[in-house]
Amino acid sequence: MMKRRDLIKAAATGFVAAPLSLAAGSVQAASTTRLRMQTLYGTETDDLYKSFAEDVKTSSNKSLRITRFRGSELVPNDQMLDAVGKGTLDMCQGYGGYWAGQLDIAKIESGIPGAWTSFDEAMYVHKAKGLGDLIREAYAEKGAHYLGPVFGGPYDLLTKEPVNSLADLKNMKIRATATVGAILQKLDIPTVYLPSQELYIALSTGAIDGVIYGGSLEYKALKLHEAAKHYTYLNMINPGYADGMLINKAKWDAMPPEHQKILELAVAKHSREMHAWNVNGCLDVNGEGIFEFGALPAEDSKALTVAAMDVWKEEASKSERNAKAIQALTDAAKATGRA
């Protein structure tokens, strides 16, 4: 019997398969363009990126090829923006929170808590409310072209000891990106940033007490359940994070329109497939019994929301572009009845 995750993945594939196949017939394979692409992830996503590369190859009549490298194989994950801008990498799927010091809109792009509550709302704010255009403008200044968001799934807390309230976290050291760290620090919760490949050892040795990195699927993939089993729902944002698909801008500008369109369609399809894989994978893992689940009290969830709104104001003050981005989030929240 087909698992629910596979069923939804198949549905996502069918959603955009037709445009990709239509594009294939219009491309003449005169010469081959090869793109080296690094992602954040390891072997657990090999099938997804193989499908992405195959879509591009087939739709371009083999004239556009992508070679994918796993996380940090060519450059450290937090240096991918710089590498794409300089052309060391042709493409990457990266996380804006890793380069928040380089890009004014990075924290907002990566999924600032409270920004959206569903995949549809996240797509609405990017497409209809113009957030994607603002992000694209910012990356262009760094020598990269933004192809679009790739949304993850749940984004919650995993700790070695049970967490019953935010007060418990004040005696722990939590791994968090700059985006979430800014909120936790307002609540006097110590945070530190570590790359994903260091999380297992850091938890095992007691260097950190918990992580906010993703959902149960990612935590299992990194084998973090061997060192920490207490999973706490934070309910700050869903989808919990947004990666960005980037390509070197000079490389993009030199491409024929047919290749550009093929990449855009393939990224849109990949984005939906990866989101479905993540969400449904978490549901599968949740039923395995390797984590113990809990949630914060309502008053603590409200405290997180208040702290997030303070961060929204701080982000809006950083630049005119950020102010427009926060206004887009605010307008989307009003349109969906959240504000």
What pLDDT, on the 0 to 100 scale, is given for residue 196? 87
What pLDDT, on the 0 to 100 scale, is given for residue 28? 57
pLDDT in tens, 2-49: 333 343 333 333 334 434 553 444 555 558 999 999 999 989 899 999
The closest alpha carbon to 234, from 157, 142, 327, belongs to: 157
Is 80 exceeded by the pLDDT of residue 105?
yes
What pLDDT, on the 0 to 100 scale, is given for residue 318? 96
Q: What is the mean pLDDT of the chain?
A: 91
What pLDDT, on the 0 to 100 scale, is given for residue 242? 96
Tell me the pLDDT band of 336, cut-offs 50, 70 and 90: confident
Q: What is the mean pLDDT of residues 76-104?
A: 96
pLDDT in tens, 155-164: 999 999 999 9
Distance between CA atoms of 131 and 325, rounded to whole angstroms? Answer: 6
Locate all alpha helices (DSSP H) within the chain, ordered by sequence: 4-24, 46-59, 80-86, 106-109, 119-127, 131-140, 166-169, 178-186, 199-205, 216-221, 249-253, 257-286, 298-316, 320-335
**Highest mean pLDDT range out of 46-50, 178-182, 195-199, 307-311?**
46-50
What pLDDT, on the 0 to 100 scale, is given for residue 17? 42
What pLDDT, on the 0 to 100 scale, is given for residue 249? 98
Q: What is the mean pLDDT of residues 196-212?
A: 96
Residue 296's SS3 state is coil
- How is residue 189 annotated by DSSP? -
What pLDDT, on the 0 to 100 scale, is given for residue 332? 92
Is residue 295 packed enough to be buried (19+ CB in 10 Å), middle (13-18) or exposed (0-12)? Answer: middle
pLDDT in tens, 206-256: 999 999 999 999 999 999 999 999 999 998 899 999 999 999 999 999 999
For the ranges 43-47, 66-70, 135-139, 204-208, which has the lowest average pLDDT? 43-47
pLDDT in tens, 262-299: 999 999 999 999 999 999 999 999 999 999 999 999 99
Bridge partners for 38 per DSSP: 69, 92
Are 49 and 39 a contacting pair, CB within 8 Å?
yes
